[in-house]
């Protein structure tokens, strides 16, 4: 782990902007953080604790993941996602909204879920899961002229959440399994898997060299990604947050970090 830390430090030495990285080897129980307590605007990484909060409310019996929510015209916002192109009046199961929120980073689905369980509940779940410095204050893609606080996270907090999910300690074992299942269907990446080997799809049923369960987030000047990387029987949780550099530069650096983590896992 010390060698991996040194390699990532070397990668970040000449990188522009401000960076924060947190890595944990779930097999060995070792970890490190670089600038891990620096606060960053959360962007869509906030959707991971929102997912955990929805599962928590379902576990308490206050909702069922099969319950359907009505898509209203007022719910529709721009940015990422497909629901903005759907017809108001359709109904979707909560589980499907969770899936869209994570694998397509759907902002409309996110806001619908936030309205369903409430901001206070999400913050309470975040606190209970050890996200000590991270905060949620607003929905996504909605301009608020009087906004005082923003959604903020730290790499240490996000990685703590990932490790609890992997260990089956996030809400419950069953909920953790479902969250991993959703995150493994991720269709978007901000670079962590860019430099990983291409998967061999020629042999049906073959065990892949690696799997990825993650979530990215981005707005102008900000590019983040958090993920659980499974490779050769190893499991590594990694969170990379960046601000103050171009998207191309940030993605390149995140890809380099992803490559170093993969080589370590092998």
Instruction: Please report, for the domain that includes residue 130, its CATH number.
Output: 3.40.710.10
At residue 145, the pLDDT reads: 64
Q: Which residue in 251, 221, 260 sits closest to 18, CA to CA?
A: 221
At residue 41, the pLDDT reads: 98
Mean pLDDT of the chain: 96
At residue 107, the pLDDT reads: 98
By residue range, what is the domain housing residue 83?
2-140+148-197+208-265
Q: State the DSSP H helix or E strand holding residue 164, giving kind and residue range, or none if neither.
A: helix 155-166
* Residue 202 counted as domain residue: no
At residue 232, the pLDDT reads: 86
At residue 83, the pLDDT reads: 98
Write out pLDDT tens, residues 205-232. 888 889 999 999 999 999 999 999 999 8
* Residue 203 counted as domain residue: no
Q: Is 24 in contact with 156 (CB distance < 8 Å)?
A: no
Q: Distance between CA 88 and CA 70 in Å, rounded? A: 8
Q: How confident is the model at residue 40 (pLDDT cuts 50, 70, 90)?
A: very high
What contacts 49, CB < 8 A, 6 or more positions away? 122, 125, 126, 129, 131, 134, 136, 161
Q: Which residue in 133, 64, 128 sits closest to 94, CA to CA?
A: 64
* Rounded mean pLDDT, 56-71: 98
What contacts 103, CB < 8 A, 6 or more positions away? 182, 183, 185, 186, 187, 188
At residue 147, the pLDDT reads: 73
At residue 86, the pLDDT reads: 97
Q: How confident is the model at residue 266 (pLDDT cuts 50, 70, 90)?
A: confident
* Residue 6 counted as domain residue: yes
Q: Is 137 in contact with 122 (CB distance < 8 Å)?
A: no
* Rounded mean pLDDT, 242-250: 97
* Residue 55 counted as domain residue: yes
Q: Which residue in 171, 214, 215, 176 sits closest to 53, CA to CA?
A: 171
Name the residue with higher pLDDT: 209 or 7.
7
- The number of folded domains in the chain is 1
At residue 223, the pLDDT reads: 98
Write out pLDDT tens, residues 130-178. 999 999 999 999 877 677 899 999 999 999 999 999 999 999 999 999 9
Phi and psi at 48, nearest 5°, equal: -70, -50
Q: Is 123 helix (H, G, I), strand (E, B) or coil?
A: helix
The model's pTM: 0.96
């Amino acid at each position: 782990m010390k060698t991996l830390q040194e390699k990532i430090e070397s990668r970040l030495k000449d990188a522009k902007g401000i960076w924060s990285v947190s890595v944990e080897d779930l097999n060995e129980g070792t970890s490190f953080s670089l600038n891990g307590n620096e606060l960053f605007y959360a962007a869509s990484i906030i959707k991971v604790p929102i997912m955990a909060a929805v599962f928590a409310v379902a576990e308490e019996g206050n909702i069922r993941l099969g319950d359907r929510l009505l898509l209203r015209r007022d719910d529709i916002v721009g940015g990422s996602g497909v629901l903005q192109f759907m017809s108001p009046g359709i109904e979707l199961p909560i589980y499907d909204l969770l899936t869209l929120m994570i694998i397509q980073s759907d902002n409309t689905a996110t806001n619908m879920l936030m309205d369903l369980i409430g901001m206070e509940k999400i913050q309470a779940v975040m606190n209970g899961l050890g996200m000590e410095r991270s905060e949620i204050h607003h929905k996504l893609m909605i301009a608020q002229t009087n906004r005082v606080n923003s959604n903020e996270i730290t790499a240490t907090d996000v990685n703590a959440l990932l490790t609890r999910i992997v260990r089956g300690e996030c809400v419950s074992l069953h909920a953790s399994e479902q969250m991993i299942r959703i995150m493994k269907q991720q269709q978007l990446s901000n670079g962590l898997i860019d430099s990983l080997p291409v998967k061999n799809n020629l042999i049906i049923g073959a065990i892949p060299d690696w799997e990825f369960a993650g979530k990215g987030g981005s707005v102008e000047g900000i590019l983040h990604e958090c993920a659980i990387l499974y490779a050769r029987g190893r499991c590594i949780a990694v969170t990379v947050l960046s601000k103050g550099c171009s998207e191309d530069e940030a993605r390149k650096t995140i890809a380099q970090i992803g490559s170093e983590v993969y080589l370590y896992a092998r």
